[in-house]
Structure 1
Amino acid sequence: MQKSVLRVAPALFSFLLLLSCGGDNTSSNVQSPGAEKAGKTNVLEAGADLLQDKTPLSKLNMYLDGFHFYNGDTKAQMEAHHYCTKINEDLTQCIIYDGNTDKAKIMGVEYIVSEKLFKTLPAEERKLWHSHVYEVKSGELIAPGLPDVAEHELMEELVSTYGKTFHTWHTDQDLALPMGHPLIMMGFTKDGMLDPTMLKERDERFKVSSEEKRKNRADIPTPAIQPGANAWQQGEIRQLKIDNTAQGGHHHSSPNR
């Protein structure tokens, strides 16, 4: 018997995204040095919050929680809290935090493109991107606070997309300040890769079951992964390094091949 899926009207879906909760349960990985905020700072912040326009931030209306690993090192894993906005039907941009409290640190960014756009990318560019098929189908990727029906529909949209991710602050390494250079991240592609303890702790915090989500998403079609994505699986690892030999001693990032 075919499973019926309730379709959520676009306007209602956006409304649900805005109302979704499921946050404020994951503290930052690090406590950074620095003096406590002064009273004057708090007053200035309150005034700026009231008076200044923050249109781009107001569009961050989608919250996704998943996991990344450093390209070239599948054992270096961390949870990633994505706050995203859809630029259009084929392009999404996300700010990534190491938690979901007011002390969370910005870890990096992720850009998400549809399969249609991914197919337009040059072959070398594709090697920087990862697929989302397994993350969706396995239940590892969740949209905290969304009702199951709305989350299911969102995952139907994400299953065929591709992400390009850079982490700029490596708080998983207990770095209290954003030291080091940006690193390219990848997503998991099969069972047994993600640390089960990390997944279990995440599920407990959000009161969800990845296994139940896997079963619930069994009806989502599994698209073929486009050539070039997840290039690390073929030994084509792309990572950034600092070139200290650049003229004048300036630091430049370059692909580490």
Structure 2
Amino acid sequence: MKPATPWSLMTAVLLAACGDRPTASPVTPPGQAESATTKVLDASAAALQDKPPIEALNAYLDGFHFYSGRPQAQMEAHHYCATLNEDVIQCVIYDGNVEDAKLMGVEYIVSETLFATLPPAEKALWHSHAHEVKSGQLIAPGIPQVAENALMDKLVRTYGKTWHTWHTDLHRQLPLGVPQLMMGFTADGQADPAMVAARDQRFGVDSGRKREDRAAIAAPAIDPGADAWQRGQAFQIADPTQAHGGADHAAPAAPPSDPAANAASNKP
């Protein structure tokens, strides 16, 4: 058993305290309904098998992603995370928070200390979390404000690398194509306000109020190697299936944003 840390002790209570509102998946995959035999097998496995990696998921975060190089293609992302140590967190990402939510992808989160050790080519695949935290867009549903602020005070200095494998935001009923690199927002005016407002209404939160509540959280200087899409370096894996080559993602990437404006938007 790994030793408990202040971070793991705090996150251990997050899922238990979670009072999230149901968010359904937008797609239903093709296939026959689950048979009675399959239901019995599933119930038996649930009762008899231990699942340590799943049981280690002890924090729930809700935020937003967009496709690297296609900032107009945005979606809500439900993160269920496990702490590996004080510098590394791993999350599975779903398109909802109900039982039949679809597994969209994964995100790996590292501290600024570890991120600083990465080579430039690797840093280009990661995104900063400072604006997500300071803007109020990233939330930990169902926990008291003081606990959420403590969690955000840690996350504001982290970086994430995210791959989506099932693109239910495009109503893909199966996980088609190759994984896509995702990014996080870095400045005001990038996230679709209707998307944020719909999430806020569903969870009964106010992103604007959370921005105010997090004013005392110090925004770090962003490593210049992160958020490479802002410099026109929007990496994606070439997709031989053309699952991402249609009209859904045909709009050009937004021009690189002003680094000075980004820095200003992340100030308390």
Tell me whether the two structures share a fold, i.e. TM-score over 0.5.
yes
SS at match of 2:149: helix
Pair 1:158-2:155 in alignment: yes
Pair 1:171-2:168 in alignment: yes
What is aligned with 2:255?
A: none
What is aligned with 2:134?
A: 137
Pair 1:89-2:86 in alignment: yes
Larger mean CA deviation between 15-24 and 131-140 belongs to: 15-24
2:234 and 2:10 mapped to 1: Cα distance?
Answer: 37
SS at match of 2:218: coil
What is aligned with 2:16?
A: 19
Counterpart of 2:72, as a letter, is K
RMSD, aligned α-carbons: 1.4
Pair 1:221-2:221 in alignment: no
Counterpart of 1:45, as a letter, is D
Contact 1:18 1:62 in 2 (8 A): yes
**1:23-53 Cα deviation digits (max 9, x unpaired):** 3510001111111111111111111011111
Q: Structure 1 136/91 Cα, relative in aligned 2: closer, same or farther at 3 Å?
A: same
Size of the alignment, in residue pairs?
236
TM-score (norm 2): 0.85
Q: Structure 1: which 5+ residue stretches go unaligned?
A: 1-8, 245-257
1:18 and 1:129 mapped to 2: Cα distance?
Answer: 26
Q: Structure 1 51/213 Cα, relative in aligned 2: closer, same or farther at 3 Å?
A: same
SS at match of 1:69: strand
Q: What does residue range 195-206 of structure 1 map to in structure 2 within 5 Å?
A: 195-206=192-203
TM-score (norm 1): 0.89
Structure 1 counterpart of 2:110, from 108, 113, 118: 113
1:209 and 1:150 mapped to 2: Cα distance?
Answer: 17
What is aligned with 1:29?
A: 26
Q: Structure 2: which 5+ residue stretches go unaligned?
A: 1-5, 242-268
Contact 1:24 1:101 in 2 (8 A): no
2:213 and 2:188 mapped to 1: Cα distance?
Answer: 17
Give the % identical residues. Answer: 58
1:11 deviates by 7.3
Contact 1:96 1:106 in 2 (8 A): yes
2:8 and 2:75 mapped to 1: Cα distance?
Answer: 33
Pair 1:127-2:124 in alignment: yes
Counterpart of 1:182, as a letter, is P
Contact 1:23 1:101 in 2 (8 A): no
